[in-house]
Every structure is written in structure tokens, then in C-alpha cells.
Amino acid sequence: FRSLEKDLQLPQSGLARVRDCNDRDDVTVPFDIRASGFALFTVAAECRSLVLELEPFEPVVVSRVLRRGEQSLGELVLRAAATADVRVTRDPGGEIISGATVEMMAMGDADRASKPVIVAQSLTNEAGWAHFAALPPYRELRATAKSTDGNRSDAAALRLSPREVGLIDPLRVGESAALIIDAQIDEAFLARFPSTRVAALYITPIDPFRESEKLQRNVSGEEVRFGPLAEGEWLVSALVMVTKTSYAPFDLGSIV
């Protein structure tokens, strides 16, 4: 690690957090930083994202998948972190929500197809405020909140400079919606391929920062219910089994 801030010394320790691992829960590993700025740590491989927390510096976001045996992340140049406070309220009514989980996400930088990475999480206090002590500057951040009853907010955008204090007031959690889908195969198609059936239905938020809200339901011949859902536009798709060994995906359009 190397600091760009003349008045800030590198911390003596940090935390490495990996998320979205194939065969294990999220993993947090502490590590020490030597006087030379060199750090050595072992962390789970094959996870989709790695965030290195080094307050008061910005968290380092590594959005690519770390492979087994990989031995170096290279030299990482650090700026001072930004901070932010978020107040979560209920819409309509403006009631303060305590105990809500607020996530701050950043778009991955590995390539254009990278998915958003959770940079930090915080719970709202009795006054409805969630505090973020270290956020990466010069990145597009999105804050979303989820209340204890499962309702979610829309995403609020934030872009900060080093040492800047950001504010989102309020971040509104709206009433949830439900989507019921009765998936049927066209009768003319069914006459040609009588074994055809809808195997699964998927709904995905159009906003890529809400990728984690993607839902899947297997279909057993009855109506399928999705909920609770945050307001917004959702893409609906299906996986159709045409024969016992042949499957085909179908986009069914979007719904608000």
C-alpha cells in the first residue's frame, strides 16, 4: 500500500472482506501492514468481490474473482476516505425506521459486465441514521435500505471526494408490492411438444445496482408469487423445458 495523503500514515492493520462465495458464507480476514506498506494475508478464493478496509483511507474494491493460487494484488495507491450519513424513513408518512440495513454499493471496475460490489453496510439507529465512516471517493455509489419487515428503498446515488461528508436525507422505504404470474404454454405449441412446461420464473430489477434482489421461483403448475418487491421496473423471464433434455430461456418483458 502507498498513501497519497501527506498527513495520513498507513494504518497498522486492516480487514479483508470477501462476498458472494460459491461454497461458503462471506469471509472476513484481519491482516497486518508492515512499516514498508507491505501486507500478506490469506483469503478465500473464487469469491466475486474483495473489499479491503483501511480506515481512515478509502476501502479498496477488487471486483474481479480471485483465483486459487493468486499471489499478488500489486501496488495499491490510497486516498483519504469519504464519509456519509443516511437517514431512513417510511414512505408515505415519513416515519423514522430504526434497525434498517443500509448497503452502500459501487459498480465493479473489472470490466463493463462487472456486477455491483457491496462496499459497506450499516444499521440505522433509533433516530433512523446510518453512518458510513469510510467510503471510496470518485466512484458512483448507490445507497439502498431494507427494513426489518422486508420492504426496500429505491437506490440513491452518491459521488464523493476524499474527506467529503455525504448526506442522504431521507432515503425513503416505500410499501412493498407483490407480483403473481400464471405461466401458460401456448396451446398450438403444446400440441406439437406435449411435454413442454415452464420450469422456472425469474424477475430481475432493471437497475444493475439492485442485482442482489434477483429472484427465482420453480414452477409446479400453480400461480407463482413474488414478494415483497421494491417499487421499480422488473424484467420477467422464464426457463422452459421443451423436452426432458432441452431447455430454452424466454424474456417475457418488463413490469413496473
pLDDT for 102-154, tens place per residue? 999 997 665 555 678 899 999 999 999 999 999 999 999 999 999 998 888 98
d(CA 10, CA 155): 33
pLDDT the model gives residue 111 = 55
Q: What are phi and psi of 191, to 5 degrees?
A: -65, -30
The answer to whether 240 and 247 have CB atoms below 8 angstroms apart is yes
pLDDT the model gives residue 109 = 65
Residue 176's CB: how many other CB atoms inside 10 A?
15
Question: Comparing C-alpha atoms, which of 60, 47, 28, 56 is closest to residue 139?
Answer: 60
d(CA 128, CA 99): 8
Q: Which residues of the chain have pLDDT under 70?
A: 23, 108-114
Name the E strands within 60-158: 60-62, 77-78, 82-91, 101-106, 117-123, 129-135, 141-146, 156-158
pLDDT the model gives residue 44 = 87
d(CA 131, CA 143): 12
pLDDT the model gives residue 228 = 85
Q: Can you say how many angstroms the Cα of residue 74 is from the centroid of all Cα atoms in its chain?
A: 25
Sign for the CA dihedral angle at 209, 210, 212, 214 comes to: negative
Give me the helices (H) in the chain, please.
187-192
pLDDT the model gives residue 36 = 92
Region of residue 189 (left: phi > 0; alpha: psi -120 to 50; beta: else): alpha
d(CA 215, CA 17): 25
pLDDT the model gives residue 112 = 55
pLDDT the model gives residue 116 = 85
pLDDT the model gives residue 232 = 86
